[in-house]
Structure 1
Amino acid sequence: MSGVRLVMARHGETAANVQHMLDTRPPGLPLNERGHTQAAALGARLAADPVSAVHASVAVRAQQTAAPVAAAHGLDVRVVDGVHEVFCGELEGRSGRAALERFMAVYEAWWAGDLDARLPGGESARDVRDRFLPALDGILDGASGDIVLVSHGAAIRLAAAALLGDTAETRFLPNTGLVVLRPDGDGWALEHWDGAMPVAGDVTAGGTPA
């Protein structure tokens, strides 16, 4: 995969993001007005890069975010199964502190090394990796240039941790934030990560699925 870079972008803002609502079942909510503005800015940001393919999850918000990036390079958006957000099960559609704290308890267990901790009626970190990483292998097979994948905050963090090694520090990824990886021997190295560490004690800042 010499000469390839994997550019993973989180989708733009939706009403669920504003309301801190767990929205993980595709197709999900579309971008709001600010989300469309963010998507246009992402297209402009990547317009001069050597993008050879643009992929998006099955969620509407991911495809809408990918569209300006693809248009800037005369490409189509390729929809990919397996790279959608962590499914929250019984917490789907819920908002409020109780639901978010329940999600974050499982999320923190994942970062402590318990990949089999499971959201109630939903997925574990291992479930997400088992579908996301083979999908990445598929889009990277025979690829060259920059491969853009528009996906989701929690799913991107889990995939990046798997590719970089589980001791790697990952960060909250803002809407249309980028994680850029490049091949390094038999693995991957981090070239760039947008965003900042979440504020301690803020259950809305850890990259909850939406």
Structure 2
Amino acid sequence: MRLLLIRHGETFSNLGRLLDTARPGAELTPLGQRQAAALPAALAEEDLGLLYVSTLVRTQQTAAPLAAARGLEPLVRDGLRELSAGDLELRGDEAAGVLYMRTAFAWSAGDLELRMPGGESGAEALARLDEVVAEAAASGAGTVAMVSHGAAIRMWAAARAENVDVPFAARHPLDNTGVVVLDGSPEDGWKALSWMGSPLGGPTRPDQVADSPAGRPVTPAPAPPPQG
């Protein structure tokens, strides 16, 4: 299955660099609405069979133009929501953002019992995301798009794609409406084909604008937890 993981468009919480992960979440800004409107043309070559969104309003608003253009009914799944920030919810300070993303990438590296402060564990987060991906794969659709969230996409890709490790996902941003394209299956594993339009191994963009921690690079890249 060809899997397109699409980050939502810009939100008002992104402008404040806030960890906004609870339902219903912030709506799209005017720029976010224009980003969403550009998705049908950007994905014109993709033969989409199914379109999934999370329970947060920003993913549904982002997917609406694509759904209308393709005649698809978005499938709303709670498993695609953003990684719960727990006690860090709606904080916008640097310390909270770093802790949030380092916890997420520790999950990617295998520390699944670790919990976000006041939030979910890595095992819980990966299980809910895996469940939606498995449902899509079982449908038989050749290409599936899922509009989800920056931290969730980066964490899951680093955990599940054979050619995406934690340092790569930590260094490489995922802009609003950025797309990670993967190929594979839950049984055989996943390989990332491109990250925001660049084939794997392409350059890191150094000129990122302000954004929530979910999409920004993490410097230095978090190291995998010690084994044993």
| Aligned ranges 1:69-148 → 2 under 5 Å | 69-110=66-107, 113-148=110-145
Gaps of 5+ in 2: 198-202, 217-228
How far apart are the structure 1 equivalents of 2:14 and 2:20?
9
Instruction: Detail structure 1 runs of 4+ shifted over 3 Å in the superposition.
Output: 107-113, 195-199, 203-206
Shift of 1:65: 0.6
The residue aligned with 1:6 is: 3
Tell whether the 8 Å contact from 1:87 to 1:122 is kept in structure 2 after alignment: yes
How far apart are the structure 2 equivalents of 1:58 and 1:5?
23
The residue aligned with 1:19 is: 16
Q: TM-score, normalised by structure 2?
A: 0.79
Tell whether the 8 Å contact from 2:98 to 2:213 is kept in structure 1 after alignment: no
The one-letter code sitting in structure 1 at the alignment partner of 2:196 is D
Of 159-168 and 48-57, deviating more is 159-168
Secondary structure class of the residue paired with 1:82 = helix
Gaps of 5+ in 1: none
The residue aligned with 2:214 is: 207
The one-letter code sitting in structure 2 at the alignment partner of 1:34 is L
The one-letter code sitting in structure 2 at the alignment partner of 1:207 is A
Shift of 1:82: 0.9
- Which of the residues 149, 157, 163 maps onto 2:146? 149
The residue aligned with 2:173 is: 172
Q: TM-score, normalised by structure 1?
A: 0.85
Secondary structure class of the residue paired with 2:40 = helix
How far apart are the structure 2 equivalents of 1:51 and 1:85?
23
Tell whether the 8 Å contact from 1:198 to 1:205 is kept in structure 2 after alignment: no
Q: What do the CA deviations read for 1:156-210 (whole angstroms, capped 9, x no partner)?
A: 11222232148633232111000111127822221111177587xxx9675269x
Could you tell me the percent identity over the aligned residues? 42
The residue aligned with 1:186 is: 188
